Amino acid sequence: MDAVDSEIKTRRFLSRVLRDHYSSLDLYLPYRFTRREFAFVYMGGKGMHRPVAFSTKKEASEFLIKKTPLHAYYSTAYYSDPKVPMKNKEWLGADLVFDLDADHLPGGDVLSYPEQLEEVRKKTRLLIHDFLMGDFGFDEDELHLYFSGHRGYHIHIRSKKVLNMSSQARREVVDYITGIGLDVTEILPSEDIEVDSFMEFKKIAKSPKLPGEDVGGWGKKMRKLTIQLLERWSKMERDSVLKEMKEKHKIGDSTADGLYKELYDKEKWKRVKEEGTLDIFPEQGKVNVNSFKGIIEGVLDEKNIREIGSQIIGTTDEPVTGDIKRLIRLPTSIHGGSFLEVTPININEFADFDPLEKAIPKCLSTDKKELVMKKLPELNEIKVGGEYIEFDEKMTVPEFAAPFIISKYRAKLL
């Protein structure tokens, strides 16, 4: 079969998958869908078909079966009349949406696709539990989580608290989450301690402390990260801890040695953990509280925080969250770049969610398909639908894996 025939055969196969998917689908339509704009991109088409509006679920289902779009979107905003041109639309409010994608993941370009999915999943869980439910206090039933269909996740917040937020207010939410403008020197509280006395006169100094256990926001994260750091160091060899103090926290040789002795030889790190006090070091020599304070402020440094794994710097697509008229992928639709389904996810089941298992269109069978690849990916194999697929110039794969490999890795049908 020549290249042209292979191309035609592949396009027909993908078109059939789209038709079968939408014909067998129990379509998911978003809350108040009659107030939302829809938009579509078609295979071989030019540009985006918008605005589209639906008055019933049946109307939307019939449209998808007939048009078989390669990509399907809907507006995060609500409009009085969603089918009119944008300049004539009356805006009624919008969901607050977060788009986490491997494109925004530090170092994500050197990870394999499965590694990207795993890293973004970790960051999404941190965003949900540490920030949205933790710091902002959203209830679980206000959060709606979806696999994006390709390399990340979408979180939609539907709540009266966010409905009419301005674009600027939404960007400030992202700034808070990503730590933009965060002054870590302002997070550490202090206490008055007596450092000297003469008769009735007392010399009082300010001593920094860890934020209290009842503190929220970034103070809570600083306390958590500091305790994680101290516990991690307590399990490491002395030389490794000293190396990290010197290289990552820019502590001098003598000071690092003194800090280690006070923290671990004398086990004062446990007092820091239990009482939050940092004033545990002798003032003579180069060992003092300011050196340790610098380390604690450093745990919220972007470079260090990535290693500890309790930040989501760089993963959130800020324009999506700040945009009050954004289009986002329609749940249960097919993502044309992967032919995986944009999948709704129960937050309680997210820890075990595997897109290459759960997001495969259910219309696909176990029949075999022969594929040819012009360029092999760097990874040797990938697990799709519970089956390991080895990449080769010519390969036979189950039908349920074929659309993904064709769209993601540029394979063609033989």
Catalytic amino acids? 99, 101, 317
Distance in angstroms (rounded) separating the CA atoms of residues 7 and 374: 13
H/E run at residue 143: strand 143-147
Distance in angstroms (rounded) separating the CA atoms of residues 152 and 146: 9
Give every CB contact of residue 360 below 8 A, 6+ residues apart in sequence.
340, 341, 384, 385, 400, 401, 404
Closest CA to 362 of 68, 49, 20: 20
| Signed CA dihedral, 158, 162, 168, 171: sign only | negative
List residues bridging with 38 in a β-sheet. Answer: 52, 74
Distance in angstroms (rounded) separating the CA atoms of residues 316 and 137: 19
List residues bridging with 201 in a β-sheet. Answer: 198
Tokens read off for 138: 């959203």
Residue 15: CA atoms inside 13 Å, Cβ hemisphere, count? 12
Distance in angstroms (rounded) separating the CA atoms of residues 400 and 389: 11
Question: Per this entry, what is the length of the chain?
Answer: 414
188 phi/psi in degrees, rounded to 5: -70, 125
Rg of the chain over CA atoms, in angstroms?
27
Amino acid at 409: Y
Closest CA to 144 of 131, 130, 132: 132
Distance in angstroms (rounded) separating the CA atoms of residues 295 and 293: 5
- Beta strands per DSSP E along 12-81: 38-41, 49-52, 71-75, 77-79
User: For residue 198, what are the CA distances in angstroms to 58, 120, 207, 279, 344?
Assistant: 86, 59, 20, 22, 69
Tokens read off for 21: 């998917």
Distance in angstroms (rounded) separating the CA atoms of residues 403 and 361: 10
| CB 309, CB 280: distance < 8 Å | no
